Structure 1
Amino acid sequence: MEKIIFSDVGEGLHDGEILQWFVKSGDQVKRDEPLVEIQTDKVAIEVTATKEGYVQSTFGDVGDKIIVGDVLVELKTNDHNEELHSEKEEPFVKEVSIEREPIVEQQNIKEQPLALQTRVKAAPSVRKLANQLNVNLQNVSGTGPKNRITKEDVRNSTNGKKQSHSKQSEVTTNTISQSKPTEHREKIVGVRKQMYQNIAIAQSTIPHTTAMYEINVTELINLRADLNQYVENPMTYLPIFVKIVDLVLKEYPIFNARIDEEKEEIVYQSTTNLGVAMATKQGLIVPVLKDVQTQTLEEIAVNLQQLTTAGKTNKLTFDQLKGATFSISSTGMKGGIYATPVMTPPQVAILSLHAMVEKPVILKDRAIGIGTVMGASLSFDHRIIDGEAVGLFMDAFQSYIENPNKLLLKL
């Protein structure tokens, strides 16, 4: 018997959540074939078979939390194939003669040999619940993936039995079924669940304070248009923002630091690893652009595109999701004007960039004209960063945005 356990595949990994099963009891699997998909606090991973064999048991249902070291699957290997095949071929049926033992036809289905019953698709936790509620899984229709029976199916089956005992209950049931549902429920799972937990931890442990600026981006728009004449793939604004943030962090390194809570020390980082928040179908993720201080603007653009593609296809690795020293969140052209972004510990600051909109502005000759402005919000840990430092940081960031030719002095 081969036991497949949930191993620590990344630094600091403690638990995960079952996203989906690829196999069920009785399935034949080959070495390295995917068995189950697990969502950790950073990325979804597939646990594969370590040997060829047959699935004896699976442990846990979709949405269940598992701990590193837990057994996920038990495989029958070596010479157990024949035994499993014989079970599938109903070995007990050949021994049971209806003429010799007519009582079999009168027995409740619970008392029949397992081979006479149809194989039920249900996790161990679901079987346990069914046993506690005295529900026969043979009579329950599964609504899960591949007709798998869920805990909700078991509970609904129990509710149906209770209602059948009362005529009044039947009337109530008919009334409810004829009325339109008043709500729709969706279980919090996967990346969304990790965000749900991480945001709660961040807000409860870090005193967030946010500074908001309005920045004229007219000259930056012109710079981007000029740069796109010389690059093969159109450059977005984000690579330019990333490079500017890197330059400002060098001037004010407290924003690129972290807090060692145990030793009560500020740890200054020698490299700039920028977390770039992006929305995907699975939820919000923050891949990390490493060593920004060593990259040109064109290299940043290429590397950001690679991270974006990997994020949208759920192909990011653990290394691409850890080690951020500062984060940027861009709401895009359809985003709001301002927001209060939430930091991820141990980082001490996060910058959120918002929609660019046209509005009346004061031009350089002090005339009133139409310009394009962008809101920028900086959330920071007020335990180690004060208002003066925030003002200096945002003034420097604004200066590069409104006078982008200054970048030539630093590149």
Structure 2
Amino acid sequence: MATDVKVPVLGESITEATLGEWLKQPGDAVEADEPIASLETDKVALEVPAPEAGVLGPLQVEVGDTVEVGAVIATIEAGNGSAAKAAPAAKAEAAPAPAASEEPAASMTLSPAVRRLVLEHGVDPSKISGTGKDGRLTKDDVEKYVKSGTSAPLVEKGAATGAEAPAATPAAAGGNRNEERVRMTRLRQTVAKRLKDAQDTAALLTTFNDVDMTAVMETRSKYKELFARKHGVKLGFMGFFAKAACLALKDVPAVNAQIDGEEIVYHDYVDISVAVSAPNGLVVPVIRNAEAMSFADVENTIGDFGKRAKDGTLTMADMKGGTFTISNGGVFGSLMSTPIINPPQSAVLGLHRIEKRPVVMPDGSIQARPMMYLALSYDHRLIDGREAVTFLVRIKEAIEDPTRLLIDL
């Protein structure tokens, strides 16, 4: 007797999702609670576990289909996977199987984003070591493999495949001009809508400052080994900036507030949203009550977010709320940016890469110092320019003299 695989409860007020990828195929043996599919909601990707052990039966939906909570997407049948592959749903049978040269490593399970990178760079995914959950490939895996220079291109279409090559099309003088259309994920559609809404609603403005990272870098160098031994986590830069932001938000509460209709809501707590890279894009989990946390608490929380983002196990609750955002584009090499606020929040702090630049010191000498540009984008309807500048000055003071973080100055 077959058991239905249903779309699980997705979270508060979430009634539907998009089928992101099948992690198992018809005829594959599955264990109870083993992930067999990935669903994409407006904020996170969720895995659908097998309700019991057996063999995955016909698939009822295809990648890209929208499914509602409780909908049947497949069945689990009795067996151990040794039987012939189960036939896919009629909907899938109608689609012709892609040629081997068009769909690299068809036996591998690749997310749409990873598949797009594989096709774009013409690499063989079977030669790349996956670091995602259950050894699956992530975008970072493919990008690192390409940058390493060890990638070998796949066989081009129609070349030594045993299949008749299609009629040749005159090539443009500049080379191939291929195009590919890929449906936007539900997460990317939501991000696009929210960012555009922020631009249309808020009076966005960005102010800049720079900060000398010498003191923080010296503090990290001096205490990083002791910190790691005691707390089991590395001492990073985000801990310093999160604690500095808590002090600055206390001094300039408007930056930690939000507009609700004709009212301003001020928060006496600090819930910091931090941008974290995930296989399907950036996600923004929340460090709650950051003002009451130690450096170790902040670093442990961020490290846990990063790991769970990579594994795809972040939940809707992890990203709900937030009163202020910190986005670190410096990890990707960004020198300067104008980040967009995360509604209904009113401000976002952008961090950037550290590089040595000549700085005139108080004694008139010129020294090469490790400098970072800071950017604060804010809603000018609520936050005045004076408040925005004051906030960044408070951040600068705390980072250039970390003792202030200990004595609450």
TM-score, L = length of structure 2: 0.71
The within-5 A match list for 1:264-275 is 264-275=262-273
Q: Per the alignment, do residues 307 and 257 of structure 1 end up closer, same or farther by CA in structure 2, a change over 3 Å counting? A: same
Cα shift at 1:74: 5.7
Q: Per the alignment, do residues 371 and 254 of structure 1 end up closer, same or farther by CA in structure 2, a change over 3 Å counting? A: same
1:185 aligns with 2:180: yes
The worse-fitting range, judged by mean Cα deviation, of 237-246 and 288-297 is: 288-297
The within-5 A match list for 1:8-407 is 8-22=9-23, 32-50=33-51, 58-68=59-69, 71-73=71-73, 75=75, 121=88, 124=91, 126=92, 130=94, 140-142=96-98, 174-176=167-169, 181-185=176-180, 187=182, 188-189=184-185, 191-228=187-224, 230-232=226-228, 233-261=233-261, 264-332=262-330, 334-407=332-405
Q: Which residue identity does 1:219 align to in structure 2?
A: A
Q: Which residue identity does 1:217 align to in structure 2?
A: M
The worse-fitting range, judged by mean Cα deviation, of 218-227 and 356-365 is: 218-227
Cα shift at 1:50: 4.3
1:353-407 deviations in Å (ceiling 9; x for gaps)? 1111111212132333222211011111122122121112112111112222222
Contact 1:215 1:402 in 2 (8 A): yes
- Distance (Å, rounded) in 2 between the aligned partners of 1:123 and 1:266: 55
Contact 1:121 1:147 in 2 (8 A): no
Aligned to 1:95: none
Cα shift at 1:53: 7.6
Contact 2:211 2:400 in 1 (8 A): yes
Aligned to 1:166: none
- Distance (Å, rounded) in 2 between the aligned partners of 1:202 and 1:332: 23
Query: Which structure shows the higher helix fraction?
Result: 1
1:155-198 deviations in Å (ceiling 9; x for gaps)? xxxxxxxxxxxxxxxxx951229886412426233654543444
Cα shift at 1:49: 4.3
**Secondary structure of the corresponding residue to residue 231 of structure 1:** helix
- Distance (Å, rounded) in 2 between the aligned partners of 1:288 and 1:252: 20
Contact 2:19 2:64 in 1 (8 A): yes
Contact 2:46 2:312 in 1 (8 A): no
**Secondary structure of the corresponding residue to residue 43 of structure 2:** coil
Contact 1:195 1:284 in 2 (8 A): no
Q: Per the alignment, do residues 30 and 307 of structure 1 end up closer, same or farther by CA in structure 2, a change over 3 Å counting? A: closer
- Distance (Å, rounded) in 2 between the aligned partners of 1:258 and 1:346: 6
Unpaired segments ≥5 residues, structure 1: 83-87, 90-117, 131-136, 149-171
- Distance (Å, rounded) in 2 between the aligned partners of 1:16 and 1:364: 58
Cα shift at 1:284: 1.2
Aligned to 2:125: none
- Distance (Å, rounded) in 2 between the aligned partners of 1:201 and 1:247: 30
Q: Which residue identity does 1:200 align to in structure 2?
A: K
Bigger Rg, which one: 1
Q: Per the alignment, do residues 389 and 311 of structure 1 end up closer, same or farther by CA in structure 2, a change over 3 Å counting? A: same
Give the superposed CA RMSD: 3.5
Cα shift at 1:308: 1.8
Q: Which residue identity does 1:271 align to in structure 2?
A: Y
Unpaired segments ≥5 residues, structure 2: 110-164
TM-score, L = length of structure 1: 0.71
**Secondary structure of the corresponding residue to residue 9 of structure 1:** coil
- Distance (Å, rounded) in 2 between the aligned partners of 1:379 and 1:75: 49
Cα shift at 1:350: 0.6
